[in-house]
Chain A
């Protein structure tokens, strides 16, 4: 297992290097002068010159990249133009709501998708199955922001049960925190639940048609035990793969969800930075998100090996 982790880590190095090159190139893709794009026309030329030399934009490209990489390796992701604080501090302040949202959404999606997926497969072609497949289709085709607005309309505006924006830290005030995260987490969780339901249903159907299921039934096991101990375990492998593939969608969804519900998370930070044309902040946050995404994918890969011993020994 240790060797597997090491091998995977080494394999990510060239990709990480290319990712940094891509993020570095981002600022240079701007049509026209990036400094003009970042600052208003009225800003004094000397201020622009100072920013240009601070960002190193007045030097040759390869030197800029070398300096930028050198700083990066020392953990310096640059500074935001807007608030002059290091990118890492900006992200540090915003990471908690994002992680809480992701965790809460993941829990909701598993709680919703597991029973629907299993029952859909176990009672194939029943009304329940039709409900399950319709739910999956609905969740996959419905954009996050529309689910969010439907929930706001229903639970915030019409029924007035839950707050529609703002954030309270559940670690400080538990119930108010949960209430403030409820609608965003349901929004994000439902989209993910749809994908998990669809995958779990089809992998359960496949598992249920295997010979070992017939054997398990033949030896007199109850249907519940057959599903729990034999079908579900094997059906979980594709679900984990899909969860890994969906991480990107989950992060994208979090960006939109945080924007709609005014949650002060990393996703909202990206959107705000993009609007403010705060390119160093955009670069820093996008790089951190990409590294986080690569590492989570690596973890999913390892989880995959842990669930299925056949992969570990390959």
Chain B
């Protein structure tokens, strides 16, 4: 007997639960600040040409190392470029690197974890050992080595960081699959004749999302830090393109005469990472109160 399992539309109680999750996330003390920072960063990245008063690449050799004033909110650098405009354009690089690498890691890691958890046996063993091997490299060293072979630039950095974060999501997803497939409702679906892909799609994935979302939201902040570190070392975004990390590296030679070249992008980086951390913490607390520190 063929049984058709139709995914029910979200019931009012499910909808109410979703809203209460959002409400719980918003109630966390520092979450509004985090959300505001994140929204601001996204807006600035999208509207960079409107927000930035100057071109990030335009040099003005008559006004090099100028102090911050109304014309140049964060001063100018050693070739007279407006630091604020460069910080604005740098937001794009940071967000693309942060979100891009985590999206890659979630998709690849999630898929590998799903495969390992479902297939079990040798496939599971092999995949998990490979993930262990990736985790055996200190993250920044692995990203450096991958960056070296993939070449400097945003694409190389996003792929390198994506690889670095993949095992975390693969392990997480595998754990979820193992625990969820042992539940009774999965047995019930199986007994009703639901095929494996349907069980994965309608039972395992929705239930495994919460920890993945929590991990992803926290990983974005670290990915942004990692991109800045790689660019600082000269392996990420190449000058003259604006990236916070490379700007800070370029400015460290002028720390005495013009500290604003370093502290402008430094403040932007710090505030963004703090904001994203607050958002990540709030999402974690809302989705899984047991994890609250």
A26 within 8 A of B: yes
Closest residue of chain B to A21 (Cβ to Cβ) is: B133
Which of B141, B144, B147, B232 has the most C-beta atoms of chain A within 10 angstroms of its own C-beta?
A: B141
A179 within 8 A of B: no
Please tell me if the beta carbons of B229 and A144 are within 8 angstroms of each other in the complex.
yes
B68 within 8 A of A: no
- Bound complex: CA of A294 vs CA of B141, how far in Å? 14
- Bound complex: CA of A263 vs CA of B141, how far in Å? 17
Closest residue of chain B to A275 (Cβ to Cβ) is: B234
B139 surroundings in chain A (CB, below 8 A): 248-249, 252
- Bound complex: CA of A314 vs CA of B270, how far in Å? 43
Please tell me if the beta carbons of B129 and A143 are within 8 angstroms of each other in the complex.
no
B136 within 8 A of A: yes
Given the known interface contacts A157-B256, A256-B233, the answer about A247 and B148 at a Cβ–Cβ threshold of 8 Å is no
B28 within 8 A of A: no
A140 within 8 A of B: yes
- Bound complex: CA of A289 vs CA of B140, how far in Å? 11
Given the known interface contacts A22-B134, A137-B274, the answer about A149 and B262 at a Cβ–Cβ threshold of 8 Å is yes
In the complex, chain A residues 67-124 whose Cβ is within 8 Å of any chain B Cβ: none
Given the known interface contacts A247-B138, A249-B139, A251-B141, the answer about A146 and B133 at a Cβ–Cβ threshold of 8 Å is no
Please tell me if the beta carbons of B149 and A15 are within 8 angstroms of each other in the complex.
no
B293 within 8 A of A: yes
A43 within 8 A of B: no
Chain A contributes a number of interface residues (CB within 8 A of B) equal to 48
A65 within 8 A of B: no
A142 within 8 A of B: yes
Please tell me if the beta carbons of B148 and A277 are within 8 angstroms of each other in the complex.
yes
Please tell me if the beta carbons of B273 and A274 are within 8 angstroms of each other in the complex.
no
- Can you show 12 pairs from A to B with CB atoms below 8 A apart? A21-B133, A141-B225, A143-B232, A149-B262, A152-B252, A248-B137, A255-B141, A255-B233, A274-B145, A277-B148, A286-B145, A290-B137
Given the known interface contacts A18-B130, A157-B256, the answer about A293 and B293 at a Cβ–Cβ threshold of 8 Å is no
Stretch at the interface among A27-35, A44-52, A180-188, A214-222: A27-35
A252 surroundings in chain B (CB, below 8 A): 138-141, 229
Please tell me if the beta carbons of A143 and B293 are within 8 angstroms of each other in the complex.
no
Which among A31, A145, A279 is the interface contact of B232 at CB below 8 angstroms?
A: A145
A143 surroundings in chain B (CB, below 8 A): 225, 228-229, 232, 269-270, 273
B288 within 8 A of A: no
Binary contact readout B214-230 vs A (1 if CB under 8 angstroms, 0 otherwise): 00000001000100110
Which among B132, B150, B273 is the interface contact of A29 at CB below 8 angstroms?
A: B150
Which among A31, A141, A249 is the interface contact of B221 at CB below 8 angstroms?
A: A141
- Bound complex: CA of A21 vs CA of B126, how far in Å? 14
> 9 nearest interchain CB pairs?
A252-B140, A18-B133, A248-B138, A251-B138, A274-B148, A141-B273, A29-B149, A202-B293, A30-B149
Distance to closest chain B CB from A87 (angstroms):
14
- Bound complex: CA of A290 vs CA of B145, how far in Å? 12
A274 surroundings in chain B (CB, below 8 A): 144-145, 147-148, 235
Given the known interface contacts A146-B248, A152-B255, the answer about A270 and B144 at a Cβ–Cβ threshold of 8 Å is yes
Closest residue of chain A to B277 (Cβ to Cβ) is: A141
Closest residue of chain B to A259 (Cβ to Cβ) is: B233
B151 within 8 A of A: yes
Binary contact readout B142-167 vs A (1 if CB under 8 angstroms, 0 otherwise): 10111111110000000000000000
Q: Is the interface of B mostly helix, strand, loop or mixed?
A: helix
B266 within 8 A of A: yes
A275 surroundings in chain B (CB, below 8 A): 234
Which among A19, A137, A282 is the interface contact of B136 at CB below 8 angstroms?
A: A19
In the complex, chain A residues 130-168 whose Cβ is within 8 Å of any chain B Cβ: 137, 140-146, 149, 152-153, 157
A153 surroundings in chain B (CB, below 8 A): 255, 259, 262
Distance to closest chain A CB from B228 (angstroms):
6
B293 surroundings in chain A (CB, below 8 A): 198, 202
Please tell me if the beta carbons of A22 and B269 are within 8 angstroms of each other in the complex.
no
Given the known interface contacts A137-B274, A198-B293, A270-B144, the answer about A26 and B232 at a Cβ–Cβ threshold of 8 Å is no
A260 surroundings in chain B (CB, below 8 A): 252
Given the known interface contacts A270-B144, A274-B235, the answer about A146 and B149 at a Cβ–Cβ threshold of 8 Å is no
Distance to closest chain A CB from B5 (angstroms):
39
Please tell me if the beta carbons of B138 and A149 are within 8 angstroms of each other in the complex.
no
- Bound complex: CA of A198 vs CA of B233, how far in Å? 28
- Bound complex: CA of A294 vs CA of B133, how far in Å? 9
- Bound complex: CA of A143 vs CA of B233, how far in Å? 13
Which of B136, B229, B259 has the most C-beta atoms of chain A within 10 angstroms of its own C-beta?
A: B136
- Bound complex: CA of A248 vs CA of B149, how far in Å? 21
A303 within 8 A of B: no
- Bound complex: CA of A231 vs CA of B245, how far in Å? 42
Please tell me if the beta carbons of B146 and A29 are within 8 angstroms of each other in the complex.
yes
A157 surroundings in chain B (CB, below 8 A): 255-256
B234 surroundings in chain A (CB, below 8 A): 275
Please tell me if the beta carbons of B229 and A137 are within 8 angstroms of each other in the complex.
no
Please tell me if the beta carbons of A26 and B136 are within 8 angstroms of each other in the complex.
no
- Bound complex: CA of A279 vs CA of B140, how far in Å? 17
Closest residue of chain B to A291 (Cβ to Cβ) is: B136
Given the known interface contacts A18-B129, A152-B255, A274-B145, the answer about A141 and B137 at a Cβ–Cβ threshold of 8 Å is no
